[in-house]
């Protein structure tokens, strides 16, 4: 009764959660692709897409991916055999427990006549599958908490997932152990399944079970001689053996029973079997009810993404379906951290102490952002920096075991973030290279506006330089550090021969370079000589610098002109970040 | 034969795969061992505008990984990676405050920089380590009358004190390598200037006009192809190609003259019509 109420309650929550999550797949916009398409239209597009695949030759691809990537998880194996083993042990062990043990009345009983959970092979298999899950969890805990790979972060969801699995499996094992040793369980069984009247025979059976089946009896006067054993064995054959294999096969349970045997009688008296039973089923039901809202939802989303990824591509698939796939991808991420371990910007993340450079952490931020939860402004700054700090090397996509097409996700996410009010200094760096290559894909001013605002924030502060009639504002000299880098102090050698400006291809490009660039290279060196660093890093010139090193190569005084311009860019960025 | 850690960087695997494929094929033919280190990260070039520690740490970690793999030489195929790694190599070997800072950060990752690490450009490895004679012996199908404009790229040449690549004002290494294939290397005006790639995405007008100028200058000087050894230059010229001659990556050109098939080299029909015609004529 209680069991059924709990079961149905958790099933109802599970299904409500599932419907909600599926609805979110069709209503959530990760990028701007399907902003104007309503959820019903997206569902329709998805159904059409699915049918067109099912009735085409692509079905063979789907079947192959289902076996190779979903069931056998080849993508994890390609990256790391130990990680594959970890995941496969948990996945296959738990799935088998679910099918054989949890759903025994629906699956195992109808399939196998004479099924009893205490009979082999089922008794052995249940323990074996439990052991598989335990080993998998132990490996996962070791990797996540003891290996200290600093790109692998542990979120609350990661801890929850491991905890719920561990509670389910360990409570099951201890429950089995307690049942084995429990005297009251034994008595109940004898009463229910035997009709022994003879006291000696009863004692003999009990004695046999104490000897051979891990039972802990309060009776101290049990006979264990050969005759008693033979009688017990006979009785066992008559009443018990049909449903009970040798207990040694329940190897995890018997170990648990042995461990608790000194206190088994005490535990039995406080009905610990019932308590543990409720812990076990409650953990299962919590796991089930909470599944759509937890990381465990990947068991539904990831197979979908693996299969969708194999039959969809940007050129031929409906853009609306791509948007839907991206929404599902957020649920398919298991936060395993493989992408972050392979991220090209890994050291940038460390040097700047910004976790959001790492793809796995960007996914976490993205999940929060798309659920409409706010992110604090300081954290948002870090997210924006992290999202832009991507070299577009596509490695995250190549290695992702869930098959998430991250390389198609990032550009859209990036645009969502840079199109806002706050300028992003990183736009004025080679991180923009791929954005620049794809500039034809942008509409209206979406391409140039963020660049303009970044430029306005970083440069162009000393316009008075251009107007010869204005008095020159020398400002204050500041104490910014320009001495940590080799060559930083070389500006002092500049004797203004203007070679740097003459050979500069950027200066040569403009008809009126001073108007466009604010300060020319030799003037920047001059500013530094006067201690006017702020004026120097306010010049637009430094953001148009190609870093081609012509100036530095041709300087007769060995001034590190290009290196100094790099340093000025760093200073300008620091300045904006602090503001 | 000496073994090299092959540093592909970010762009080549994602966008200029044929560069890696052709280089691997050519080096195999030349008997040079290349070792792939999958945990390599970005060279630090794009973050150099933003933060110098992030730049140096990125570059230094790669060099430390080379050491960890038991190697000393790093073969770099991208000019921007090369410039960046060379700069970091120089700063690290010079020692001082920055070296200490980076060493500490590397130690946190169980890594260590080593002074024995040598960062080498693909073209230098071919010219200096493999040697002209060795390559000449392998050229089985030299081109006939193919005219090539060599494009050195900035970060290979400059700052010469650090890159140690060739004479920064009158380089000849690349031209000699091109002529080994039987092609003629033509002289052209802006061959030592920047392709504009660093400003693509930042100031596109300026960036594209840089690229256009190179392509039209080379065409005017009679070059049929611009030959590059850098993915940035290559992509930049491809983005601007409408106005001038096409570009080809050096390992593709060399590979064709060695008789390696076009599919392996990733040479498309359209791209290299002239090359193969000349090759057959020879």
**CATH code assigned at B151:** 3.40.50.11810
Instruction: State in Å, rounded, how far the first CA of chain B is from the last one.
Output: 31
Say how far apart CA B206 and CA A547 lie, in whole Å.
14
Would residue B128 count as lying in a domain? Answer: no
Would residue B23 count as lying in a domain? Answer: yes
| B53 alpha carbon, distance to own chain's centre | 25
Task: Supply the pLDDT for residue A473.
Answer: 55
- Orientation angle between helical segments A561-578 and A521-529, nearest 10 degrees: 70
Is A418 within 8 Å of chain B by CB? no
**CATH code assigned at B29:** 1.20.1050.140
- Angular region, A379: left φ>0, alpha ψ -120 to 50, beta rest: alpha
Mean pLDDT in each 10-residue stretch from start to end of chain A (579 residues)?
A: 93 98 91 78 94 93 96 95 97 97 94 92 97 98 90 93 97 96 95 90 94 93 89 94 93 96 94 95 97 96 96 88 94 96 96 96 92 86 95 96 95 89 92 95 91 88 57 51 70 94 97 91 92 85 96 96 94 85
- Please report which helix (H) or strand (E) contains residue B149, including its range: strand B147-151
Is A230 within 8 Å of chain B by CB? no
Say how far apart CA A19 and CA A6 lie, in whole Å.
20
Task: Supply the pLDDT for residue A314.
Answer: 83
Indicate if B210 and B244 belong to the same structural domain. Answer: yes
Give the residues across from B36 on adjacent strands: B6
Say how far apart CA A537 and CA B111 lie, in whole Å.
35
Strand pairing of B73-76 and B147-151?
Answer: unpaired
Does position B117 have pLDDT exceeding 90, yes or no?
yes
- pLDDT tens figures, B145-193: 899 999 999 999 999 999 999 999 999 999 999 999 999 999 999 999 9
Say how far apart CA A440 and CA B212 lie, in whole Å.
18
Interface test with A, best of B107, B199, B206, B211 (most A CBs within 10 A): B199
CB B177 within 8 A of CB B127: yes
Q: What share of chain A is helix, strand, coil (3-state, %, to 5)?
A: 70, 0, 30
- Please report which helix (H) or strand (E) contains residue B5, including its range: strand B3-7
Token code pair at residue B180: 């080994």
* Domain enclosing residue B114, as ranges: 3-121
3-state class (DSSP) for residue B226:
strand
Indicate the residue of B50, B158, B204 with minimum beta-carbon distance to A553: B158
Beta strands in A98-153 (DSSP E): none
Strand pairing of B33-36 and B184-186?
Answer: unpaired
Name every chain A residue with its beta carbon within 8 A of the beta carbon of B201.
Answer: 427, 430-437, 439
CB B175 within 8 A of CB A565: no
Nearest residue to A545 (alpha-carbon basis) of B131, B194, B70, B12: B194
Q: Say if the Cβ atoms of B202 and A391 lie within 8 Å.
A: no
Task: Supply the pLDDT for residue B278.
Answer: 43
CB B158 within 8 A of CB B121: no
Buried b (16+ CB within 10 A) or exposed e, B41-53: bbbbbbbbbbbbb
Domain boundary (B121, B156, B176) is at B121
Task: Supply the pLDDT for residue A108.
Answer: 94
Task: Supply the pLDDT for residue B277.
Answer: 43
Residue of B nearest to A343 (CA): B41
Indicate if B145 and B275 belong to the same structural domain. Answer: yes
- How far apart, in Å, are the Cα atoms of B82 and each of A552, B154, B176, B232? 17, 10, 21, 12
Say how far apart CA A166 and CA B262 lie, in whole Å.
56
Would residue B70 count as lying in a domain? Answer: yes
Indicate if B236 and B175 belong to the same structural domain. Answer: yes
Residue B3 φ then ψ, to 5°: -105, 145
Say how far apart CA B78 and CA A344 lie, in whole Å.
15
Residue A175 φ then ψ, to 5°: -60, -45
3-state class (DSSP) for residue B246:
strand
Indicate if B44 and B170 belong to the same structural domain. Answer: no
In the structure, what pLDDT confidence band is assigned to residue B273 with cuts at 50, 70 and 90?
very low
Give the residues across from B148 on adjacent strands: B185, B225
Say how far apart CA A492 and CA A494 lie, in whole Å.
6
Domain boundary (B58, B88, B121) is at B121
Indicate if B12 and B107 belong to the same structural domain. Answer: yes
- How far apart, in Å, are the Cα atoms of B274 and each of A195, B146, B183? 98, 8, 11
Indicate if B226 and B274 belong to the same structural domain. Answer: yes
CB A552 within 8 A of CB A562: yes
Indicate if B273 and B149 belong to the same structural domain. Answer: yes
CB B154 within 8 A of CB B79: yes
Task: Supply the pLDDT for residue A365.
Answer: 93
Say how far apart CA B75 and CA B70 lie, in whole Å.
15
Query: To 5 degrees, how large is the angle CA A11–CA A14–CA A19?
Result: 125
Task: Name the domain count of chain B.
Answer: 2
The answer for residues whose C-beta is within 8 angstroms of residue A18's C-beta and 6 or more apart is A292, A300
- Orientation angle between helical segments A319-332 and A359-370, nearest 10 degrees: 110
Name every chain A residue with its beta carbon within 8 A of the beta carbon of B94.
Answer: 486
Q: Say if the Cβ atoms of A437 and B94 lie within 8 Å.
A: no
Would residue B127 count as lying in a domain? Answer: no
CB B251 within 8 A of CB B23: yes
Indicate if B109 and B196 belong to the same structural domain. Answer: no
Would residue B27 count as lying in a domain? Answer: yes
Indicate the residue of A436, A562, A573 with minimum beta-carbon distance to B50: A573
3-state class (DSSP) for residue A398:
helix
Indicate if B193 and B276 belong to the same structural domain. Answer: yes
Position with higher pLDDT, B67 vs A579: B67
ipTM entry: 0.94
Token code pair at residue B76: 């770099």
Is B164 within 8 Å of chain A by CB? no
* Residue-by-residue DSSP string for B108-140: HTT----TT-EEEEHHHIIIIIIIHHHHHHH--
Residue A484 φ then ψ, to 5°: -85, -20
Task: Supply the pLDDT for residue B111.
Answer: 96
Looking at chain B from residue 191 to 210, which residues have their Cβ under 8 Å from any Cβ of chain A?
Answer: 193-194, 196-204, 206-207, 209-210
- How far apart, in Å, are the Cα atoms of B248 and each of A323, B22, B200, B210, B271? 37, 11, 20, 18, 8
The answer for residues whose C-beta is within 8 angstroms of residue A425's C-beta and 6 or more apart is A454, A457, A458, A572, A573, A576, A577, B50
The answer for residues whose C-beta is within 8 angstroms of residue A556's C-beta and 6 or more apart is A497, A499
Token code pair at residue A393: 């090397």
Say how far apart CA A417 and CA A389 lie, in whole Å.
12
Beta strands in A246-315 (DSSP E): none
- Please report which helix (H) or strand (E) contains residue A322, including its range: helix A319-332
Say how far apart CA B24 and CA B36 lie, in whole Å.
11
Distance from CA of A488 to the nearest CA of B (A): 12
| B120 alpha carbon, distance to own chain's centre | 10
Which domains occur in chain A, in start order? 2-180+277-297 (no CATH), 182-271 (no CATH), 337-457 (no CATH), 463-578 (1.10.1060.10)
Indicate if B56 and B87 belong to the same structural domain. Answer: yes
Distance from CA of A388 to the nearest CA of B (A): 11
Indicate if B242 and B160 belong to the same structural domain. Answer: yes
Would residue B129 count as lying in a domain? Answer: no
Max avg pLDDT among A480-489, B219-228, B266-275: B219-228
Is A368 within 8 Å of chain B by CB? no
Q: Give me the sign of the Cα torsion angle A44, A46, A47, A53.
A: positive
pTM for the whole structure: 0.92
Say how far apart CA B237 and CA B196 lie, in whole Å.
9
Interface test with A, best of B47, B85, B111, B166 (most A CBs within 10 A): B47
Domain boundary (B121, B152, B182) is at B121
Indicate if B98 and B170 belong to the same structural domain. Answer: no
In the structure, what pLDDT confidence band is assigned to residue B282 with cuts at 50, 70 and 90?
very low
């Amino acid at each position: 009764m209680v069991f059924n109420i709990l079961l149905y309650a958790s099933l109802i929550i599970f299904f409500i959660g599932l419907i909600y999550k599926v609805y979110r797949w069709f209503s959530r916009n990760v990028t701007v692709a399907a902003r104007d398409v309503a959820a019903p239209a997206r569902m329709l597009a998805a159904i059409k897409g699915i049918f067109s695949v099912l009735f085409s030759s692509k079905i063979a691809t789907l079947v192959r991916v289902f076996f190779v990537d979903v069931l056998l998880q080849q993508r994890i194996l390609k990256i790391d055999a130990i990680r594959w083993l970890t995941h496969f042990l948990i996945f296959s062990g738990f799935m088998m427990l679910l099918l054989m043990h949890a759903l025994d009345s629906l699956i195992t009983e109808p399939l196998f006549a004479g099924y009893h959970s205490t009979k082999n092979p089922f008794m052995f298999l249940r323990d074996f599958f439990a052991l598989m899950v335990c080993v998998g969890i132990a490996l996962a805990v070791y990797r996540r908490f003891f290996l200290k790979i600093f790109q692998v972060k542990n979120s609350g969801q990661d801890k929850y997932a491991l905890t719920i699995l561990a509670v389910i499996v360990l409570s099951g094992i201890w429950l089995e152990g307690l049942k084995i040793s429990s005297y009251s369980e034994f008595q109940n069984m004898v009463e229910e399944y035997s009709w022994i009247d003879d006291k000696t025979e009863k004692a003999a059976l009990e004695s046999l079970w104490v000897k051979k089946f891990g039972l802990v009896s309060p009776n101290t006067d049990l006979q264990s001689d050969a005759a008693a054993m033979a009688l017990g064995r006979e009785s066992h054959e008559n009443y018990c053996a049909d449903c009970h294999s040798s207990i040694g096969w329940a190897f995890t349970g018997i170990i648990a029973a042995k461990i608790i045997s000194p206190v088994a009688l005490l535990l039995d008296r406080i009905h610990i079997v019932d308590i543990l039973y409720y812990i076990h089923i409650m953990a299962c039901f919590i796991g089930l009810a909470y599944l759509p809202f937890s990381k465990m939802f990947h068991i539904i989303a990831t197979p979908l993404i693996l299969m969708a990824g194999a039959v969809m591509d940007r050129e031929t698939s409906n853009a609306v379906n791509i948007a839907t796939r991206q929404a599902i991808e957020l649920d398919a991420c298991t936060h395993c951290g493989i992408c972050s371990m392979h991220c090209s910007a890994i050291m940038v993340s460390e040097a700047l102490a910004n976790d959001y450079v790492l793809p796995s952490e960007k996914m976490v931020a993205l999940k929060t952002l798309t659920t409409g939860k706010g992110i604090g402004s300081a954290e948002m700054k870090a997210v924006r920096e992290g999202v832009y700090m991507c070299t577009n090397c596509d490695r995250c996509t190549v290695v992702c075991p869930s098959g998430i097409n991250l390389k198609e996700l990032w550009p859209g996410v990036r645009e969502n973030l840079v199109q806002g009010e706050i300028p992003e200094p990183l736009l004025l760096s080679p991180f923009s290279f791929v954005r620049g290559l794809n500039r034809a894909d942008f509409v209206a001013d979406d391409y140039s506006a963020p660049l303009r605002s970044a430029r306005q924030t970083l440069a162009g502060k000393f316009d008075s330089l251009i107007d010869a009639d204005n008095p020159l504002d020398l400002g204050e000299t500041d104490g910014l550090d320009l001495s940590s880098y080799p060559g930083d102090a070389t500006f002092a050698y500049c004797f203004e021969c203007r070679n740097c400006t003459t050979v500069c291809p950027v200066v040569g490009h403009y008809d009126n370079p001073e108007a466009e660039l604010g300060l020319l290279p030799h003037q920047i060196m001059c500013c530094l000589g006067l201690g006017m660093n702020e004026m120097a890093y306010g010049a637009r010139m430094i953001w148009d610098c190609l870093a081609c090193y012509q100036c530095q190569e041709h300087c007769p005084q060995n001034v590190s002109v290009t290196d100094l311009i790099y340093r000025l860019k760093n200073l300008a960025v620091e300045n904006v970040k602090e503001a | 034969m000496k073994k090299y850690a092959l540093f592909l960087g970010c762009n080549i695997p994602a966008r200029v795969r044929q560069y890696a494929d052709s280089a691997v094929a050519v080096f195999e033919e030349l008997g040079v061992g290349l070792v792939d280190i999958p945990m390599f990260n970005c060279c630090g070039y794009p973050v150099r505008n933003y933060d110098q520690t992030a730049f140096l740490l990125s570059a230094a970690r790669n060099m430390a990984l080379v050491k960890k793999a038991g190697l000393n030489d790093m073969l770099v195929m991208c000019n921007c990676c090369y410039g960046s790694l060379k700069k970091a190599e120089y700063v690290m070997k010079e020692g001082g405050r920055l070296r200490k800072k980076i060493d500490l950060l590397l130690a946190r990752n169980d890594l260590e920089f080593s002074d024995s690490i040598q960062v080498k450009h693909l073209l230098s490895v071919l010219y200096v380590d493999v040697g002209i004679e060795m390559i000449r012996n392998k050229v089985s199908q030299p081109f006939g009358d193919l005219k090539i404009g060599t494009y050195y790229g900035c970060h290979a040449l400059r700052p010469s004190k650090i890159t140690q690549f060739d004479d920064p004002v009158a380089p000849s290494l690349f031209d000699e390598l091109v002529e080994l294939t039987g092609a003629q290397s033509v002289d052209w005006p802006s061959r030592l200037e920047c392709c504009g790639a660093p400003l693509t995405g930042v100031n596109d007008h300026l960036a594209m006009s840089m690229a256009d100028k190179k392509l039209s200058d080379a065409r005017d000087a009679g070059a049929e192809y611009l030959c590059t050894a850098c993915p940035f230059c290559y992509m930049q010229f491809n983005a601007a190609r409408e106005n001038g001659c096409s570009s080809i990556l050096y390992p593709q050109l060399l590979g064709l003259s060695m008789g390696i098939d076009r599919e392996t080299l990733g040479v498309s029909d359209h791209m290299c019509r002239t090359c193969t015609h000349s090759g057959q004529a020879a």
